[in-house]
Every structure is written in structure tokens, then in C-alpha cells.
Amino acid sequence: MTNFFWGNSTSSMQTEGGWNEGGKSLSVYDVRKPSEHASDWHFANDNYHHFEEDFDYLKDLGMNMYRFQISWSRVIKDGDKEVNEEGLKYYDKLVDALLARKIEPMICLYHFDMPLHLAEDYNGFISKKVCADFIRYSKIVIDHFADRVKYWITFNEQNIYHSSGAFKIAGYVKGDESLTDLYQIAHNVMYCHAAVANYLHEKTDAKIGGMLAYNQIYPATASPQDAFAAHQIDEFTNFNLLDAFSYGKYSAAVIAFVKEKKLKIAVSEEEMTEISNLRSDFLSFSYYASSTINASKIPKGTAPNLYLDFGRQANPTLQSTEWGWQIDPLGFRDVLNKIYQRYHLPVFPIENGIGVREEWDGQHPIQDDYRIDYHREHIKAMQAAINEDGVKVIGYLGWGLIDILSSQGDMDKRYGVVYVNRTNHDLRDMKRVPKKSYYWLKKVIQSNGQDLT
């Protein structure tokens, strides 16, 4: 695995803090209230003030890539007003600190944190105006950073915009969450991705690829109905995006479905031209777990995009985490194959990890052998895909390897190899403490994946 990227991925709202500093305007996360099992989003792991220390840990581990998110509301006031120069300067310092440590920066432009003004006044990505605002913001960021940042993604886990989770992450705060609205959001986001990717390719020498959350779905039984349901989920929530990322066109099955259901989606010739011109330098995805689908539980007439809302079923052959995520390294190998063998573009898994409830005794490193086992088996599966299946993989990025808030705001669900000393409702001292897995991962990276013991 020559020229291979080993690294860490994060998002701004789960990591930064500094919610009311540096001229930042509000995002939808900044006004969410804490609950029994979730923090507010104001401080996260305070990377806003600790990034130099955190990057020292990345350097010590031997990492050579860090994927982070630019906060739209930190860089553009309210998402559609003037540029906040102080926000750009913060990310300048962050990028320069990475490069000084020989760590390649990778920018994600949107990770669910819609500027509050654009959510409340325009309903997020269902609005063509918000699409224009996002493209404007993205071009400003590209113009500012592309001389130093050579790897980019637009939307984190873009296929979530093709599922019932789309409304929350798109800044959609009012409406009946209809199937038409879901498909409108999905198309608008794809148009935004295409416009930004095409601009980056036109103006810079940087690389960009689409990203999706790849949940491996198996038939729950040997029933042909279950097998077909699993295939339809892949077609509508994975291959439809990958077709657009790779070939500049939507899946024929999805187009036929939209026509058959008579979904009235606003699609312009200009938007379809942008999509048709789209190309990707790599295809990236997150992978954590797999599940199964039981077609008998899906109400008749349900769109394939929503099958998992009704028919998801645990796999009795796999172990599950406390949060019901089923550990499946072979599924990871299969996903790498499904993407590469179909599209023949370099594949880049940029999120992988296991969330576990952990407490530090204040003295001894956390003995997280379960995390070592999880990453070891997934790295082995990736290596098998590379060496035995011929898959071209350009890197492996873990998720939140310095503890951050989970996607639901739960600090108790920890992914890191470095413990951050805070809880959901007590910030404590935010001390960083390497876990047992830290020293194992350091050995893995410094041997380029050869020493997994």
C-alpha cells in the first residue's frame, strides 16, 4: 500500500466548539437543547482552542491525512451574507498547522449544520436559493484554500438525503416531509455537488469525490422478496448516487420510479447539464455496520428509499454494539468491491470506527481491546480487498479518533483512541488521554498496516 493515507475524520459541530467566537453566526445545532443523554453543541471537544494539541497526537500516530469540515456559518454570516474574515483566518491556521506536521488536509464543505437563518427563513436545501447560497460559499472556500488543500468532498454521507433522515440534515424545518419533497432535496443536493465539483475541477488541480454512508444490507432470509428489497435499497440509496458521481446521470430505475409515481420535482436544464458534466477523482464512503431487510414488514407501496424504516432487522449471526450497530468486517470488504468493481474509480473509506461507552479512572489508560479488535478486523478486510480482489484503495480514515460528540450529541458514545475528559453535562478539564488503542494504532500506521498484532 504505497502512498496510502492513514488518518482521522471529524465534523465541525461535533469537534470545534467556539460556537459564539470568531464572528461565527448560528447554525441549527447551536440552538439545540441538551437532553438526558445528549449535550448541547456549544463546546464539543473544544478543538477550536485545542487543535494544535490534537494535531500533535495525529502527528505522533503517524497520520498523514486529516479530514475536517468547514463550518458554513463560521465563514459566511448567516450563510448568505458577507464573508467572515475571522472565520477564514481560523481555518487558515488549522490548515497551516496540518501542513507543518506533514498531514494532508481534506475539506468537507457540509456536514448537516445548516445556517440557522437559511433553515428558518428558506427551509434549507429544498430551496433553490439555498442551493445558490451553498454554491457561492463553496466557491469562496475553494478559491481561498485550494492552493493548499488538494482533497475535497462536498456533502458528508450524501445518500442520507435519499432517506427519511434527509429532512433533519437538510435544514428542512417545516413541511409534510412528502416523498416529492424528499426527491426534491436529493436532486438539489446532487446539483449542488455537481456545480461545486465542476468548479473545483475547472479552477484548480485539487481532487474531489462523492461520499455516501454505505450500510451493507443483506436479505433477512432466503426469500426472493428479501433479496430484491436489499437490491432495491442498494439501487435507490447507493448506486443512484454512485452513477451520478461516476457517469453524470441518475439510475434508470430511479428515473422510472419518479415517472411512475408522478413526482413533481423542479429540475432545470442547467442543473442536469451540471450533473452530466460531473466526474469524480475517487469515491468515498463511511462504513460502520451492516443489517438485514425483511420485506414482509414493508407496507405495500413504500418507496425503496424508506424500506429500512419498516423492514430493518438484526442479523443473528453478528455481534452488536450497545447502540445496535452490528459489527461486520466482511461487509466492509464487500462494499469496497461493490463500488470498485462497478465503477473502477479509486475507493476511499473515510469513516470507520466503533462507538462505546467509556469512563476514565483519572490515572490508567482505558483498556479498549474491543476497539483494537474492530479496527484490526476492518483493516484486514480492506487489505484482502486490495491484495486478493484487486480493489484500488487510497486510504483509511477512522472516525473521531480524538473523542468527539456522537452524531446525536452523546459524549458517552466514544470512538476515539484518545479520551477527552468531559461528559454530556460536565465539561471537566477536557484533558486528552491516549487509550490502549492509541499505541496499537501508532504501530499499525508506522508499519503501513503490516503490524496488526
Domain assignment present for residue 306? The answer is no
Domain assignment present for residue 315? The answer is no
| Average confidence (pLDDT) over 203-219 | 98
- State yes or no: pLDDT of 1 exceeds 80: no
Domain assignment present for residue 331? The answer is yes
**What's the grid cell of residue 248?**
453524470
**What's the grid cell of residue 379?**
483493516
Angle of the 329-343 helix axis to the 240-247 helix axis, nearest 10: 40
- The domain that holds 106 is classified in CATH as 3.20.20.80
Is the Cβ–Cβ distance between 229 and 308 less than 8 Å?
Answer: no
- State yes or no: pLDDT of 445 exceeds 90: yes
| Average confidence (pLDDT) over 15-35 | 98
Is the Cβ–Cβ distance between 382 and 447 less than 8 Å?
Answer: no
- State yes or no: pLDDT of 198 exceeds 80: yes
Provide the edge-to-edge strand list for the sheet that holds 282-286.
347-351, 282-286, 207-213, 151-155, 104-110, 65-69, 5-9, 395-399
Any idea which residues carry the catalytic annotation?
Answer: 157, 351
Domain assignment present for residue 344? The answer is yes
pLDDT at 93: 98
73-129 pLDDT, tens digit per residue, is 999 999 999 999 999 999 999 999 999 999 999 999 999 999 999 999 999 999 999
- Percent of the chain at pLDDT above 70? 100
Domain assignment present for residue 22? The answer is yes
279-337 pLDDT, tens digit per residue, is 999 999 999 999 999 999 999 999 999 999 999 999 999 999 999 999 999 999 999 99
pLDDT at 337: 98
Q: How many domains does the chain have?
A: 1
d(CA 204, CA 60): 31
d(CA 234, CA 230): 6
Domain assignment present for residue 316? The answer is no
Domain assignment present for residue 120? The answer is yes
d(CA 160, CA 138): 20
Is the Cβ–Cβ distance between 357 and 27 less than 8 Å?
Answer: no
Cβ atoms within 10 Å, residue 383: 17
| Structural domain harbouring 22 | 5-197+325-446
Q: What share of the chain is helix, strand, coil (3-state, %, to 5)?
A: 45, 15, 40
Q: Is the pTM of this model over 0.85?
A: yes
Confidence of residue 2 (pLDDT cuts 50, 70, 90): confident
Domain assignment present for residue 138? The answer is yes
